[in-house]
Amino acid sequence: MSEAIKAATLEYTTRLGDDSVVLGHRISEWISYGPFLEEDIAYGNVSLDYIGRARMFYTYAAELANDGRDEDDFAYMRNDREYRNLLLMEMPKGDFAYSQVRQLFADVYYTYLLPELLKSKDETLSAIAAKAIKETKYHLRRSRDWVLRLGDGTEESHKRTQKAVDALWGYTHELFDMDETEQLLADAGIGVDVSRLRDAWLAKVTEILTEATLTLPTEEWAVRGGRIGYHTENLGHMLTEMQIVHRSFPGCKW
Amino acid sequence: MSVITEKLELFEVFIRSKRGLDHKHVGSLHAEDQEQALEYARDCYTRRSEGVSIWVVKSSDICASQEDDADSFYDPNDDKPYRHATYYVLPDPVNNM
Amino acid sequence: MTPEEQNFMRKIEAEEKIEPKDWMPAQYRKNLIRQISQHAHSEVIGMQPEGNYITRAPSLRRKAVLISKVQDEAGHGLYLYSAAETLGISRSEMIEQLQSGKAKYSSIFNYPVLTWADVAAIGWLVDGAAIVNQVSLQRTSYGPYSRGMIRICKEESFHQRQGYKAMLSLAKGSPEQKAMAQDALNRFYWPALMMFGPHDSDSAHSQKSMEWKIKRETNDDLRQKFVDQTVKQIEVLGLEHPDQAIKWNEERGHYDSSDLNWDEFWSVINGNGHCNRQRVEHHIAAHDEGEWVRDAITAYNEKKRAKKAQHAA
């Protein structure tokens, strides 16, 4: 592996880890706040899947960095300007419709991203993708069903769900942005060219939203910046909470 | 606030823990329909890979025998011990049959 | 005694389980509903104090462990609600009783979780005390309750062990961590002992429940078991025992210990602990916020059914 590729892979793996930990954390905020008990358990499983992915990505990142850091250093010792997650993941939990719409956008994204990552020449990334594909299949079934129920449920649930779609839409564009790092890895057969996933994603999301009697936003707006650490204000608050115990006791084992 | 999870239906959950074994009743849960019941059963009753196959049945669809019927239901078979393998005592060398 | 009562008592004495459709005395049913629903509510409210640390867990591994533990509490609540439902009460009725304060839950969850060590102490002491009780309840006379307990016990041993491991990491960690562990032990030890309930002489439901084998061991016997098993565990942690009076009694074959602060016990039971109001309000808020979601499901389901019917017609 050339130094450039290695550095890019480290950056890429960290990004994927950041996406997972931030979304996993957001979902975990639902535990004991769900609409009924069965849902508390089910959504908890999705959260666990994402935390599990984050651990795998960070462990690999730590291995690549080879500077004595471990998975927790990646999660707990970087501040919001250093985090590289997509903005969609850091948006607050909102109401149940908001979380399920975000989940749908993310799940459809992973539905197309992971099979490509599975083809990666990097064995570790490919192995993580193999495990995650199975999880995502289940996640999408859940979020799709929820968006259908909420979109085509009562007037109130429809209104809330449409509002969530409109509010989150502008954060979906950067899911398909490529930069130099990702282009280098895509060319090397290690990373995924996400710009090629947009059509499939849009088709699938359109299909589900339509079935849910929801309207695809026509208003064109896009907020970008997650991959360069230009975040919304939400991430800072989230990390403050997430990192407080770890940082209050430097160097401790838990 | 008073009408709560009863908006959802009650389902009974049966799990086959291993290939070759029977499905066994493990409990119940609330869900909107069979599909959701199946998904929740997976999340609620197989968190430690307890199962390879799940059945869900609407609780209201189960027809159960009553204890009062027990006499007519089971007693007629109590006097037919020859249906049980232990009825046939064989010589020791071949008694593992 | 009526023939039904005789038949019922015969089963109880022969250690046969009572099953949902069997005849049972009205008071037996009532006691069971009270005990099982209280137990279910405890699991559900018990999600809050620990859940409150999920977003702050100090490592990713601990975060995952804690999520799966709190998930288990929800699962156990579910098993228990379904056991109670076999007695003819609905989950919504039970939830209403919880929210109105008519039904109780374990007082331990009205104590605040202030530090990460508290999370560890809950796993170790609170789940530990719960297990002592639940192991005994595996032999309870009501079939669905007993089967639920067996299932729960199987899953809960992980809870206590992970809690103790977390406590061990702290007790063997930095001086600050050790101090945090000692502080958590000091605060949670006594309320954990109170989980076994009042002295049997002061317990309104104990006697009849023992007779019917709903409960299999007395509050005080179970508490003694827990006191005994905890001494060694504290020693291995290298922490100081919160009870200065703890002393081995050769004659009894048990540890002697201080009596509990029963004023505090009754005060918390009667709704005046640190978190009583907060816990119930949290439950009500989440439940009310979930209402439009549950309404949506019902509406969606009805539409789907109507469509199907149209198709069929």
A42–B44 C-beta distance less than 8 A: yes
Q: In C207-294, where do the E strands start and end?
A: 247-249, 254-256
C91–B26 C-beta distance less than 8 A: no
Residue type at B86? T
Hey, how many other C-beta atoms are within 10 angstroms of the C-beta on C200?
16
C290–A34 C-beta distance less than 8 A: yes
> Rounded to whole angstroms, how far apart are CA atoms B2 and C272?
26
Distance from CA of A231 to the nearest CA of C (A): 20
> Rounded to whole angstroms, how far apart are CA atoms A27 and C63?
12
Distance from CA of A205 to the nearest CA of C (A): 20
pLDDT tens per residue, range B84-94: 777 777 778 77
What the block records as the tokens of A50 is 């994402």
- Specify the DSSP element, H or E, that contains A16: helix A3-28
A38–B29 C-beta distance less than 8 A: yes
Distance from CA of B5 to the nearest CA of C (A): 6
- Specify the DSSP element, H or E, that contains A242: helix A233-248
Distance from CA of A221 to the nearest CA of B (A): 35
The CATH superfamily holding the domain A3-216+225-248 is Ferritin, core subunit, four-helix bundle (1.20.1260.10)
| CA separation, residue A149 to residues A182, A193, C292 (Å) | 37, 33, 11
- C-chain residue closest to A245, CA distance: C58
> Rounded to whole angstroms, how far apart are CA atoms C149 and C142?
11
Hey, how many other C-beta atoms are within 10 angstroms of the C-beta on C13?
10
User: Would you say C118 and C188 are in contact if contact means Cβ atoms under 8 Å apart?
Assistant: yes
C293–A254 C-beta distance less than 8 A: no
pLDDT band at C201 (very low <50, low <70, confident <90, very high): confident
Q: Does A141 touch chain B (CB under 8 A)?
A: yes
Tell me which chain C residues have a C-beta less than 8 angstroms from the C-beta of B3: 92
Distance from CA of B93 to the nearest CA of C (A): 36
User: What sections of chain A are H helices per DSSP?
Assistant: 3-28, 37-65, 71-76, 87-90, 96-118, 123-151, 155-169, 180-187, 198-211, 233-248
Domains of chain B: 1-62 (3.10.20.520)
Q: What is the pTM of this model?
A: 0.91
> Rounded to whole angstroms, how far apart are CA atoms C61 and A10?
21
pLDDT tens per residue, range C107-163: 999 999 999 999 999 999 999 999 999 999 999 999 999 999 999 998 888 899 999
Judge if ipTM > 0.90. yes
DSSP 8-state code for residue A249: S
pLDDT confidence of residue A219? 80
Tell me which chain A residues have a C-beta less than 8 angstroms from the C-beta of B40: 38, 41-42
Tell me which chain C residues have a C-beta less than 8 angstroms from the C-beta of A29: 54-55
User: Would you say B25 and C117 are in contact if contact means Cβ atoms under 8 Å apart?
Assistant: no
Binding partners of B (≥3 Cβ pairs within 8 A)? A, C
Tell me which chain B residues have a C-beta less than 8 angstroms from the C-beta of C151: 26-27
Nearest to C254 by CA among C222, C227, C219: C227
Collapsed DSSP state (helix, strand, coil) of residue B28: strand
A157–C295 C-beta distance less than 8 A: yes
Q: Phi and psi for B23 in degrees, rounded to 5?
A: -70, 140
Tell me which chain A residues have a C-beta less than 8 angstroms from the C-beta of C81: 37
Encode chain A (254 residues) as per-residue pLDDT tens digits: 789 999 999 999 999 999 999 999 999 999 999 999 999 999 999 999 999 999 999 999 999 999 999 999 999 999 999 999 999 999 999 999 999 999 999 999 999 999 999 999 999 999 999 999 999 999 999 999 999 999 999 999 999 999 999 999 999 999 999 999 999 999 999 999 999 999 999 999 999 999 999 999 988 899 999 999 999 999 999 999 999 999 999 999 88
Return mean pLDDT, chain C. 94
